[in-house]
Amino acid sequence: MTKQALLDICKQNNLYRTPSLNDNLYLNFKGFSQIACLEEYVNLKALFLEGNVLESLEGLPTLKELKCLYVQQNCIWKISGLEAVTNLDTLNISNNQISRLEGLSCCTSLRTLIATHNRLASLESIAHLAECKSLQTLDLQNNQLEDPAILDVLKQIPDLRCLYLKGNPVVSNIKNYRKVIIISIPTLTYLDDRPVFDNERRTAEAWAEGGLEAERAMRTKLKEEEDERNRKNHEFMMQMRAQGWRERRKRLGLPEGDTDPALDELSDGSIDFEEDPPELVEARQRLAAYTARPGEEEPAGKRDVACTRQQLASQGRRIQEGHWQPGSAEQDSQVYLESVRAAQAELDVAAAPAAASAAAPRPRSHALPPDSPAGSDSEGRGGGEEQDAAAGADGDKGGEKASRSAAHISAEAVADLNELD
């Protein structure tokens, strides 16, 4: 670590080339083995020495403005050399080889200490923390601390607020770990992975005084207090809203009241039912016209019903009928649809022979009597052909008429089905 090397680093990080003008200095991951040549950087507030091979903190000059020192991921095995940075606020010494915390009492303003992933194992290794009276945040995660007596040391830190002990055997060695820690350190507001709220502290204190029964009673009391707060908040909100409505009614010249004046015009206190849309009313009327009413009689037998339908079909009249059964509107419409489908199927069966006879060609005879003369033969042939043609024409007209009638009835029945569906 030379002056020229420091100037080159300042140039790379777009810092000032005049050392005294810099308040941050980034010397991390440069492979430095010792600290030197920092005397000119008198106004530094944050010094980053992370990821080097430093074995100690010796060499730090007097830096009265230095607040943050980051020396994690080095090879430091002993804390020393902090006498020149007495105004230090944050110190990160994690991921080193430190087996004992010491030399920190000179930092009278130290509030945050991060010492994770070191070799702290015994009560003596952290006993020095009792002299750090300004400490507020202490992170000792992933060490080898296992003695529950470390609570005696932590209790001596008067303003400890955040404590992290996860990754140490002591977490398993202390029964009811979280409750015991909360009770032991009254100033604690955050423990390991979540904050310490007032309700949790009150339940922990109740547990310490009377066990599980006292804890359950305290939880019930807290629930009642929360319900009471919610009730009061709701009542207060309703009072504010009513007060606002009264003032609005007064400004608008309306009668006094606690209701929203905007709703007075919307309701007169009576119950209004929404009318059915015209399409639904028309569909119901159409369905009622197609459905048999109670007491109306239909033909007695199935054969009579079929004959009646055939007569109506031969007359070209529209079939409008159905079978009524007590039930909902959906059931009535389903019964009617099934009856229409059955009627259409029978009509198709009845019209099928007429359509087949109309489409089939009529046979013609070409043989003549042996005693008929030639002229008679020609006249007979011509007369027979004319008669056959006339008969064929009549048959074709009859078939076409039957086909048109069946097609007309089928189209109307299909249209009715589509409208109802």
d(CA 362, CA 117): 109
Q: What is the pTM of this model?
A: 0.58
d(CA 111, CA 108): 9
357-369 residue pLDDT tens: 766 666 554 444 4
What pLDDT shows up at residue 117?
95
**Burial (CB count <10 Å: 0-12, 13-18, 19+), residue 131:** middle
48-100 residue pLDDT tens: 999 999 998 888 899 999 999 999 999 999 998 898 898 999 999 999 999 99
264-284: b or e for each residue (b if 16 or more CB lie within 10 Å)? eeeeeeeeeeeeeeeeeeebe
* Span 142-150, average pLDDT: 93
What pLDDT shows up at residue 375?
42
What mean pLDDT is reported for the chain? 79
pLDDT higher than 60, residue 192: yes
pLDDT higher than 50, residue 110: yes
371-402 residue pLDDT tens: 444 444 444 444 444 444 444 445 444 445 44
What pLDDT shows up at residue 348?
76
d(CA 345, CA 416): 15
Domains of the chain: 3-218 (3.80.10.10), 278-363+379-420 (no CATH)
What angle, 0 to 180 degrees and rounded to 10, lies between the N-to-C axes of helices 329-359 and 302-314? 60
What pLDDT shows up at residue 273?
63
**Burial (CB count <10 Å: 0-12, 13-18, 19+), residue 35:** buried
197-207 residue pLDDT tens: 999 999 999 99
* Span 174-184, average pLDDT: 93
What pLDDT shows up at residue 130?
92
pLDDT higher than 60, residue 417: no
* Cβ atoms 85, 60 nearer than 8 A: yes
| Diameter of the chain measured on Cα atoms | 155
pLDDT higher than 70, residue 270: no
